[in-house]
Chains A and B, each alone.
Chain A
Amino acid sequence: MIADTTTTARLLKVAAGADYTAHTSLIGPLPLRGSVRPGRVGPLGPIVAAAGLRGRGGGWFPFARKMEAVAAATGIRPPVVVVNGMESEPLSTKDGHLLATAPHLVMDGAALAAEAIGADRVIIAVPAAAGDRPRLGPWLDDLAAERAARGVDPVDIVVAEGPKRYLSGQETALVNWVNGGPALPTTTRPFKKGVEGRATLVSNAETFAHLGLIGRYGPKWFRAAGTRDAPGTALLTISGAVVHPGVLEVPLGIPVQEVLRAADAIPDPAAVLFGGYGGTWLAGTDAAALTIDPESMKAAGAALGPGIIHVLPRDVPGLLRTAEIARWMETQGAGQCGPCRFGLRALSADLDRALRGDIAAADRLRRRLALLPGRGGCAHPDGTARLVTSALAVFGAALPGWQDSRRQDPGSRLSGGRGSGAGSAALRSGRRGSRVRR
């Protein structure tokens, strides 16, 4: 058993792989607490609320509140739990790594959540073809079958393999695909009407892993690490100009510097990308002053997202890299809304032209960026706009004529996400967060 409650690495310490016996001898059996009345959250609810667990998929939403919302929205048919292991941000590998090294912990958490809200099924969604990464689907299937044979879980656990596209991990798109449709976002909120029209609890795989430990060790143990508003540990994926790229588990609130040191990043990087392709660039000096937690990042105008940290190599111009990413993000749009179909394409084109010295394009870019957020079918255009806006803030000096065009329009303010003015009213209409939750 993990007796040491101040242990930093927790998820990565219960990595027993496929071996269920090793898993339970490390941390004990699945702590089931009995069934629950429909519409209410079982005994696990207050425990999770006290622990303050927040979703690890990018939204950082309080998990206890999500469980309550799903329970409250449950009708005649029992709710469903969906474990989001799609991990469609290309810079993230933490979920695949977690599912490969501690799959039983993720399944434990999902089973506990299912029991707490009275769900009758757990669906684990992983990408079908993962390129160079090992294919998780059939392997997880076998593990679920083994657990079923042992009678471990109170519910069925099934594994589905979804298409590998950027939006497949967005929770409404994932539910849409599970229901037999395309992996494209919808306007229906899963907690109200998800899989088969039932109330559905969708959350990131890592969130369920934490739940698996909270269920055993309690809220005080969980809060021994992390900050008051963001307790516990989190998995990060470090990439870029670092000697040791990969997955790290850190207590939330740890300084970014420590993380860069553990990965052996280049000293004084020019810029660091947080949150992935839909995230934010920060100047190296600004990044070094931050701590890894959603609040401090937000205050600095960045977003932690699903724990992605990418250090810009010295010989790669940030704007060029951003233009590459923006062009790819354009191809990943759903094509269901104006900002996606037209806005992202124009954004890419303008950025390319601006890089070649077209000042009019730089002007258009600034104007169009302000109009993108909060008007899409999902937060995809928001993410790309945020990325480009931050790139211009960090690397804009390198853009031909950028300083001149900015001087001509001193009233303009590049807002990285929710800003005041034209975009903000649209932002309030209909959607809670501007992050694509995965």
Chain B
Amino acid sequence: MALWFATRAFGIVSLALFSTVMVLGLLTAGRRPPVRRRSRPAFVITGLHRSLSLLALVLLGLHIATNVIDNYVTIRWRDAVIPFISDYRPFWLGLGAIACDIALVVIVTSLLRVRLGLRVWRAVHWLAYACWPIAVIHGIGVGTDRKLTLIVSAACLIAVASAAAGRIAATGGTAAAGRHSTPPPPAGGSPAGGPPDQGSLDRLLDGRPAAVPAGQRLPGRDPAAFPGSPQGRSRGHDDGTRRPW
């Protein structure tokens, strides 16, 4: 009988803890412009989020363990991770198993976050938004003391919903991608002055103009004077850029 109380207690406390973890997570998420001075160090929230989630996991483990050990109803270890195969209330217990599975994956990937990289980690971490409601519904559906569970669940729901609303309301700052503008032109010197005197440099070092095979007429250095020189032609995207593949 004591174990049965323990199971419910561990379940409710672990739900409350996971809800706190959700709230803390919602407080840190999202892009925010950097703030120079803060009343409270930022690492506190992130650190608490991590630590509490591990504590919640331990309590979840105890919730499962007391459930399995208790012989009042037959629940096996695998019922906790494989959903809907249990003899006792398969549907509601199954929801718990799903939530447990997701929580395990989310926490393990978070422990390996540095190695996995941000994109993979974030993709998995979004599952937390699925995990938490499933856990709440599991608690309400499987629990025998409905009133307590409902009160706790309601409180958790309000907390998480407010944090979520706050997160959605916070607008991310968009970086100025840079406006198109013309660069300041180099002052002085006009193209009408003609190109610089390459010949003087040639003559400087070897005393005579560079050797050119007889009969070869080199075009002038003005690109427009070349036969078939590049003409302005419109081709490609509207902004003019083109990747031909």
For the complex, is A202 an interface residue (Cβ under 8 Å from B)? no
Which of B175, B177, B179, B188 has the largest number of chain A CB atoms within 10 A? B188
A56 to chain B, nearest CB (A): 17
For the complex, is B196 an interface residue (Cβ under 8 Å from A)? yes
For the complex, is A346 an interface residue (Cβ under 8 Å from B)? no
User: Interface with B: A310-318, A404-412, A421-429, which one?
Assistant: A310-318
User: Interface with A: B15-23, B115-123, B212-220, which one?
Assistant: B212-220
User: Interface with A: B89-97, B139-147, B199-207, which one?
Assistant: B199-207
User: Interface with B: A61-69, A247-255, A294-302, A388-396, which one?
Assistant: A247-255
For the complex, is A199 an interface residue (Cβ under 8 Å from B)? no
One digit per residue, 1 when the CB lies within 8 angstroms of any chain B CB and 0 when it does not, for chain A 1-13 equals: 1111011110011
> Which of B124-144 touch A at CB < 8 Å?
none
- Asked if B221 and A15 make an inter-chain contact with CB atoms under 8 angstroms apart, the answer reads yes
Nearest CB in chain B to that of A333: its residue: B178
B172 to chain A, nearest CB (A): 13
- Asked if B184 and A321 make an inter-chain contact with CB atoms under 8 angstroms apart, the answer reads yes
The CA of A13 and the CA of B202, in the complex, are separated in Å by 11
> Which of A355-382 touch B at CB < 8 Å?
none
For the complex, is B187 an interface residue (Cβ under 8 Å from A)? yes
> Which of A22-79 touch B at CB < 8 Å?
22, 25-26
- Asked if B187 and A313 make an inter-chain contact with CB atoms under 8 angstroms apart, the answer reads yes
The CA of A277 and the CA of B231, in the complex, are separated in Å by 29
Q: A135-B232, A238-B196, A242-B188 are in contact. Are A129 and B240 (CB under 8 A)?
A: yes
Q: Which of B187, B229, B241 contacts A18 (CB 8 A)?
A: B229
- Asked if A13 and B239 make an inter-chain contact with CB atoms under 8 angstroms apart, the answer reads no
- Asked if A13 and B196 make an inter-chain contact with CB atoms under 8 angstroms apart, the answer reads no
For the complex, is B38 an interface residue (Cβ under 8 Å from A)? no
> Which of A233-275 touch B at CB < 8 Å?
238-251, 254, 258-259, 261-264
The CA of A284 and the CA of B44, in the complex, are separated in Å by 56
- Asked if A134 and B232 make an inter-chain contact with CB atoms under 8 angstroms apart, the answer reads yes
One digit per residue, 1 when the CB lies within 8 angstroms of any chain B CB and 0 when it does not, for chain A 135-159 equals: 1111111000000000000000011
For the complex, is A414 an interface residue (Cβ under 8 Å from B)? no
**A contact residues around B41 at 8 Å (CB):** none
Number of interface residues of A (CB under 8 A): 84
The CA of A282 and the CA of B227, in the complex, are separated in Å by 41
- Asked if A128 and B241 make an inter-chain contact with CB atoms under 8 angstroms apart, the answer reads yes
- Asked if B198 and A12 make an inter-chain contact with CB atoms under 8 angstroms apart, the answer reads yes
For the complex, is A194 an interface residue (Cβ under 8 Å from B)? no
- Asked if A15 and B219 make an inter-chain contact with CB atoms under 8 angstroms apart, the answer reads yes
- Asked if A26 and B213 make an inter-chain contact with CB atoms under 8 angstroms apart, the answer reads yes
Q: Which of A135, A158, A162, A325 contacts B245 (CB 8 A)?
A: A158
Number of interface residues of B (CB under 8 A): 56
**A contact residues around B201 at 8 Å (CB):** 8-9, 248-250, 254, 258-259, 262
B237 to chain A, nearest CB (A): 8
A200 to chain B, nearest CB (A): 15
User: Interface with B: A111-119, A206-214, A334-342, A430-438, which one?
Assistant: A334-342
**B contact residues around A247 at 8 Å (CB):** 195-196, 221
- Asked if A137 and B235 make an inter-chain contact with CB atoms under 8 angstroms apart, the answer reads yes
**B contact residues around A243 at 8 Å (CB):** 189, 193-194
For the complex, is A286 an interface residue (Cβ under 8 Å from B)? no
For the complex, is B1 an interface residue (Cβ under 8 Å from A)? no
Q: A15-B221, A100-B226, A325-B184 are in contact. Are A263 and B197 (CB under 8 A)?
A: yes
- Asked if B178 and A161 make an inter-chain contact with CB atoms under 8 angstroms apart, the answer reads no
- Asked if A158 and B244 make an inter-chain contact with CB atoms under 8 angstroms apart, the answer reads yes
- Asked if B197 and A262 make an inter-chain contact with CB atoms under 8 angstroms apart, the answer reads yes
- Asked if B239 and A128 make an inter-chain contact with CB atoms under 8 angstroms apart, the answer reads yes
The CA of A169 and the CA of B232, in the complex, are separated in Å by 22
Q: Which of A100, A240, A324 contacts B230 (CB 8 A)?
A: A100
- Asked if B204 and A8 make an inter-chain contact with CB atoms under 8 angstroms apart, the answer reads yes
- Asked if B177 and A100 make an inter-chain contact with CB atoms under 8 angstroms apart, the answer reads no
Which of B180, B197, B210, B230 has the largest number of chain A CB atoms within 10 A? B230
Residues of A within 8 A of B (CB): 1-4, 6-9, 12-13, 15-19, 22, 25-26, 90-91, 97, 100-101, 128-129, 134-141, 158-163, 165-166, 177-178, 180, 182, 225, 238-251, 254, 258-259, 261-264, 277, 310-311, 313, 316, 321, 324-325, 328, 331-336, 338, 341
A-B CB contact pairs (8 Å), 29 listed: A6-B206, A8-B202, A15-B219, A15-B221, A18-B228, A18-B229, A19-B227, A90-B185, A128-B239, A134-B223, A134-B231, A135-B232, A137-B235, A138-B230, A139-B228, A139-B229, A161-B242, A243-B189, A244-B189, A244-B194, A245-B186, A246-B196, A258-B201, A262-B196, A277-B183, A316-B188, A334-B178, A335-B176, A336-B175
Apart from A161-B241, A242-B196, what are 6 other A-B pairs with CB-CB below 8 Å? Answer: A2-B210, A97-B223, A160-B244, A243-B193, A244-B197, A263-B196
